[in-house]
Amino acid sequence: MKKIAISLIISISICVAIAIIANHYKNTPKNAPVKKIPQRIVTLAPNLTEIAFGLGLGDKIAAVSSDSDYPPAAKQKPTVGSFWQPDLESIIASRPDLVISLWFEQQKAIAESLSRLGIDTIILRIEKIEHLFDAIKKIGDATNCTKQAEELTEKIRKQIEAVRLKCASSKKPRVLWVVQTEPLRIGGRDTFLNELIEIAGGENAVGFTLQKYPQIGTEQLLSCNADVIIQSAMSSENIEAQQKTAELFWAKKNSLPAVKNKNIFVVNADLVQRLGPRLPHGIEIIAACLHPEILEK
Amino acid sequence: MAQILTSKKLLHNLTICLLILAVVMCLCTFVGSQRISLLKALKGPGQSPGYNIDYEIFIIRLKRVILAAIVGAALAASGVILQALLRNPLADPYILGISSGAGLGAVIAVLSGITFTFAAGSPMAVFAFCGSILTITLVWYIGKSAAKSQLTSLLLAGVVVNAFFSAVIMFLTSIAKSDQLRTTIYWLMGNLTDKSSPVLIIASVSVIAGITLMFTLCNKLNAMTLGDQEAHALGVNIPRVRLIAFAVSAFITSVAVSLSGLIGFVGLIVPHAVRITFGPDHRQLLPLSAIAGALFLIMADTAARSLFGQEQLPVGVITAIAGGPFFLVLLAKYSRKVSWLK
């Protein structure tokens, strides 16, 4: 009994001592090195890659995530694992001096491991259009491209405004954005998808919901009177086949104006839902679905 | 064909197994998605980050191998203790509510977005640890308050609490956003990612202390496998041993789960495999299971992170795919040798 008590006390005190030391070192900043301009940048998501290229940092990008496919130069860069699971060893082997990541748990954990090794990291939360402009500014400040960041932000804002003005009309089509068909889940009012719908001159067919991507039942579906149904493609290949499958799926619910008038569109999520410099282009695609009479398809 | 365990034999087996563990740990630090050279790595970190890439990658791999060893040892040792306490060959460390308690804690951490951390760990780890400790305390008290056989009511309480918390987890998962969902599922599948050194040291100290403590109880556990009355006649204070063993096993499993998520199979199969090979004496079974668990998880994790280049499989997939057939072979080969299995 005595031995047990002694060993317990010793191990608990070791643990507590280590915890205190760890917290202490977390609070005292290490000798901050002179702020250099990053020359080897690693981006862990496709939209971050597009933003970096958009700021003119193409030469300085050392590696990208494996699903970065735009611009074409990004496909030539070495890869460091996928968007969902970046590979820590490959990132370190690329000798980065700046790593740009998103804020969800897997990428945040990798970013924290990297900053423990002394590599500068930027963790960005990009869930809405305003966040995109903040992110561009942050990346611009960190890479000494503040001017290019402002220009890029202005350009994107102007293009979005142009689309918004073109599509502003008294009649707003009711839009249902379907993110999943089984079970049926739609993009609610408090989402980035809703922002796209509103800029493109539409209105979400479903009113305010508690969840951001709620599952809706057949009753609510039939009573929402959607004029247009937009469906996010599951994968970026074979959009035509997915369009046909979607039309078959919706054919049963022909009391909806969208189905009667055949306004069902499957959109490539890589183009439309990627929060990056190609956002205005994505909004134009949505606008073409909502207002075909105003814009060419 | 009973073999009597002598301390010489125990030390002999223990030393060999520890040597094998050390060799495997060294070898596995050289396997990974990048090639590194040992000579370059040994030159040290250099004055600025990024100076010696080989060293940095080597240290990351070493930390990961140590983490796998700690988690594997904790799960296997805990499996041994629970199989002895519950006298049930199907007992694994998660059977008494730890899996759903830890899962619930992790899901709550992800959904609420709280950023509280302990010793530079992650909020999910802290919440998972608290969740599993609270759940197991709940299960213990429900089991204890039953009038009949404590073991049955403990198992039943564990099953019910598991089911209830799993339902709550399912509900919370259904309202989660897509990336939160992915994070939760990823965590529940079990994974070994890079942790900070303080967390690793605290975990190692806790797990080794826990296993050492349980080792002192092994004589009494041997007696308890004969049955309550026989053990009591041999002078074992059953309620006290049960409480201590249960508490320590729950603690080290919670530490393991908070670090790595729910890695299945290790706690169930490794004790059986060691028991078939070396015999059921707990003084040998416990330390050797801990070492075997560490070995198994190190090799499974090395396979998981290097089979597909930069893609990483969840460790739980490898443990189940590799462990199942291996165990069946072992069972077929040795069941003829060991008479008590019949």
Q: Return the pLDDT at A29.
A: 46
Give domain status of residue B300, yes or no.
yes
Give domain status of residue B44, yes or no.
no
Q: Return the pLDDT at B270.
A: 93
Tell me the CATH number at B73: 1.10.3470.10
Q: Do A119 and B50 touch (CB under 8 A)?
A: yes
Domain count for chain B: 1
> If contacts are CB pairs under 8 Å, which of residues 28-87 in chain A contact chain B?
33, 66, 79-82, 84-85, 87
**Smallest Cα distance from A281 to chain B, Å:** 24
**Smallest Cα distance from A125 to chain B, Å:** 12
Q: Phi and psi dihedrals of B308, rounded to 5?
A: -120, 40
Domain end marker among A111, A144, A177: A144
Give domain status of residue A155, yes or no.
no
pLDDT tens, residue by residue, B173-192: 877 776 677 778 878 788 88
Domain count for chain A: 2
Q: What is the per-residue DSSP string for chain A?
A: -HHHHHHHHHHHHHHHHHHHHHHHHHHSPP-PPP-PPPSSEEE-SHHHHHHHHHTT-GGGEEEE-TT--SSHHHHTS-B-B-SSSB-HHHHHHT--SEEEEESSHHHHHHHHHHHHTT-EEEEE---SHHHHHHHHHHHHHHTT-HHHHHHHHHHHHHHHHHHHHHH--S---EEEEEEETTTTEE--TTSHHHHHHHHTT-EESS---SSSS-B--HHHHHHS--SEEEEE-SSSS-HHHHHHHHHHHHHT-TTSHHHHTT-EEEE-HHHHS--STTHHHHHHHHHHHH-TTTS--
Give domain status of residue A258, yes or no.
yes
Q: Return the pLDDT at A297.
A: 43
pLDDT tens, residue by residue, A79-135: 998 888 888 888 988 889 899 999 887 888 889 888 888 889 999 998 889 999 999
Q: Return the pLDDT at A166.
A: 86
Q: Domain of residue A278: give its range.
A: 163-290
Q: Phi and psi dihedrals of A34, rounded to 5?
A: -60, 135
Is any Cβ of chain B less than 8 angstroms from the Cβ of A180?
no
Of A23, A92, A212, the CB nearest to B53: A92
Q: Return the pLDDT at A214.
A: 85
Same domain for A197 and A99, yes or no, is: no
Same domain for A209 and A136, yes or no, is: no
Distance CA B342, CA B323 (A): 22
Work out whether strand A228-232 and strand A174-180 pair parallel, antiparallel, or are unpaired: parallel
Give domain status of residue A17, yes or no.
no
Same domain for A192 and A283, yes or no, is: yes
Q: What is the ipTM of this complex?
A: 0.77
Residue segments in chain B with a per-residue pLDDT below the cut of 70: 1-3, 45-51, 115, 117-121, 147-149, 178-179, 334-342
Instruction: Name the one residue in this structure whose structure tokens are 């970065």.
Output: A68
Over residues A69-83, mean pLDDT: 88
Is any Cβ of chain A less than 8 angstroms from the Cβ of B311?
yes
Give domain status of residue B4, yes or no.
no
- Using a CB-CB cut-off of 8 Å, the residues of chain B touching A120 are none
pLDDT tens, residue by residue, A161-194: 998 898 887 688 999 999 888 788 888 888 888 9
- Using a CB-CB cut-off of 8 Å, the residues of chain A touching B56 are 92, 117
Give domain status of residue B1, yes or no.
no
Give domain status of residue A34, yes or no.
no
Give domain status of residue A2, yes or no.
no
Same domain for A137 and A185, yes or no, is: no
Give domain status of residue A197, yes or no.
yes
Q: Domain of residue B295: give its range.
A: 63-337
Is any Cβ of chain A less than 8 angstroms from the Cβ of B60?
yes
% of chain A at pLDDT higher than 70: 94
Give domain status of residue B67, yes or no.
yes
pLDDT tens, residue by residue, A212-265: 888 888 888 888 888 999 998 877 778 888 888 888 888 888 888 888 888 899
Give domain status of residue B227, yes or no.
yes
- Radius of gyration in angstroms for the set of CA atoms belonging to chain B, rounded to a whole number: 21
User: Which tokens belong to B1?
Assistant: 């064909």
Q: Which helix (H) or strand (E) holds B191?
A: none
Give domain status of residue B167, yes or no.
yes
Give domain status of residue A11, yes or no.
no
Tell me the CATH number at A65: 3.40.50.1980
Q: Return the pLDDT at B147.
A: 60
Give domain status of residue A102, yes or no.
yes
